[in-house]
Amino acid sequence: MTEDLPSPALLPSGLSDLLPPEAAREAALVEAMLAVFAGHGYERVKPPLLEFEDSLLAGSGAAVAEQTFRLMDPGSHRMMGLRADTTPQVARIAATRLADVPRPLRLSYSGQVLRVQGNQLAPERQIPQAGIELIGADSAEADAEVALLGVEALAAVGIGSPSLDITLPTMAPALLDAAGVQGDLRRRLARALDRKDAAAVAELAAIAGPPAIGLAALLTAAGPADRALEALREAELPPEARAIADNAAAIVAAIRARAPALRITLDPVEFRGLQYHVGVAFTLYGPGNTGELARGGRYRSGEEPATGMTLYPDAVRRAAPATPAAPRVFIPLGADPAAAARLRAQGFITVAALSAADTPRQLRCGHILRGHDAAPIEEIA
C-alpha cells in the first residue's frame, strides 16, 4: 500500500470486522450448532434483516423497541426496523406462514441482529445469534428439550461442562402480588432484589407482610438447583408461586433425567432474563470465565406457548477451543491441477502461484507440491 490513511479503518463503535481465522471459526461454530438443532427436528427459517416496525416490534419485540434502528421504506413510505432480535420474527412466521403446520413447531435460525447502542459491558452493536424456538408446547419436557439442546450445541463445538442457570422471573412478582405490595414499596423491594441486598430485602419484606417475607429466604436459597428446590419446597408459598416452584422442579427433573451430570443452579427470585419471559429463564455459561453463551426461556409466541434459546456465536467462539488450521501447500506455476485437487481432498489447503514472483513464504505455505505429495519446506518460519 502506498498510502496509510487511518480513517478508513475506523468503524462506528460497537461494529467490527472479524478477520481470519476468526470469521471462519464463527461460521463453522454456527453451522455445527444448527446441525445439532436440525438433528432434533428443528427446521431453519431465515427472516429478512429489515421489516415493517409494526410487526417487528409486536409481542416480544417490544422488549427491544428502543434498541431498534428505524428506516423509511421509500416504496411504501412506512417505517421499517432493522431487527434487534430474531425471536419476534420467528413468532411472526409461526403465526402466519406456518399457521397450518401442526404443533409443536420446531424452528431454528441464525443471523445478525443490530442494536442502536451498546453498553459498557456489551459494547457490540452487531450481534450474531443462532437459536431455536419450540412453539405450541407448554410441558416441562419442552423447556428441558430446549435447555438440553443448548448444552448439546455447546458440546458440538467443544465446550463441555457448561453450567445452566435457571431463574424464575415471575416468582418475585407473584409473591409481591400475593402480598398486595404496590407502589414505592414494590419498587424498593424490586431494586433490593436486583442488587441481591439481603438485608434490605428482609427489612422491606417484613414491612410488606407474610407472602413477601419468603423473598428473603428465597434470595439466600440461590445456588445449586437441588438446594434451591428444597428451599422452595419448604417455603410457604401462595398458590401462584407454588405453581411456579412446582414447574421449576419438573423442568429440573426432566433435565436431570437426560443429563445427570449437568451443573444446574437456580435463583428463584432473580428476574434477569429478557423482559418477555413468562416461565423459567435459562442462561448457559461455559467452564471458566466465559460470560453468557446462551439465553432462553419460556415466552408467548403470539397466542401460543413457546420456549426458546439463543446462542451467542461471538461469545461461543471466544469460549470454544481453537481448531488447528489445515496445512497450506504451495502449488508452483504450471503444476498439474489434478495433483492439487487430490491434496485438497486429503484436507490440505492448496495455494497456487499466479506469477513467477510468488513464493511459498509469501503465500504462507509450509509445504510445496512435489510430484503427487505435499513436501514440508524446512526453511519456512
- Determine if 99 is a binding residue for a second copy (CB under 8 A): yes
The DSSP bridge partners found for residue 369 are 374
Count of residues that interact with a second copy, criterion CB under 8 A: 100
Angle at 313 between CA 309 and CA 316, to 5 degrees: 95
Least CB distance from residue 4 to a second copy, whole Å? 7
Nearer residue to a second copy within complex by CB, 168 or 255? 255
Neighbours of 185 (CB within 10 A): 16
- Determine if 302 is a binding residue for a second copy (CB under 8 A): yes
Nearer residue to a second copy within complex by CB, 6 or 371? 6
Least CB distance from residue 95 to a second copy, whole Å? 6
- Determine if 21 is a binding residue for a second copy (CB under 8 A): yes
Give the C-alpha separation, 66 to 117, whole Å. Answer: 9
Cell of 329: 501447500
Buried/exposed code over 193-216 (b: 16+ C-beta within 10 A; e: otherwise): beeeeeebbbebbeebeebbbbbb
**Site mask for a second copy (CB under 8 A), range 69-98, x = bound:** x-x-xxxx-x-x-x------x--xx-xxxx
Least CB distance from residue 93 to a second copy, whole Å? 5
Least CB distance from residue 255 to a second copy, whole Å? 11
- The amino acid sitting at 296 is G
- Determine if 260 is a binding residue for a second copy (CB under 8 A): no
Q: Which of 200, 262, 339, 349 binds a second copy (CB under 8 A)?
A: 349
Residue that is written with C-alpha cell 459494547 in the block:
123
- Determine if 47 is a binding residue for a second copy (CB under 8 A): yes
Least CB distance from residue 25 to a second copy, whole Å? 9
Give the C-alpha separation, 352 to 343, whole Å. Answer: 12
Neighbours of 51 (CB within 10 A): 18
Residue 338 · residue 34 · CB < 8 Å? no
- Determine if 318 is a binding residue for a second copy (CB under 8 A): no
- Determine if 324 is a binding residue for a second copy (CB under 8 A): no
Question: Where does this chain touch a second copy (CB under 8 A) — which range of 35-43, 200-208, 235-243, 273-281?
Answer: 35-43
Cis peptide bond N-terminal to 210, omega within 30: no
Please list every residue from 119 through 148 that binds a second copy, using CB under 8 A.
125-126, 134, 137, 139, 141-142, 145
Angle at 282 between CA 89 and CA 154, to 5 degrees: 85
Question: Where does this chain touch a second copy (CB under 8 A) — which range of 38-46, 188-196, 211-219, 366-374?
Answer: 38-46
Question: Where does this chain touch a second copy (CB under 8 A) — which range of 108-116, 158-166, 176-184, 291-299?
Answer: 108-116
Give the C-alpha separation, 137 to 73, whole Å. Answer: 36
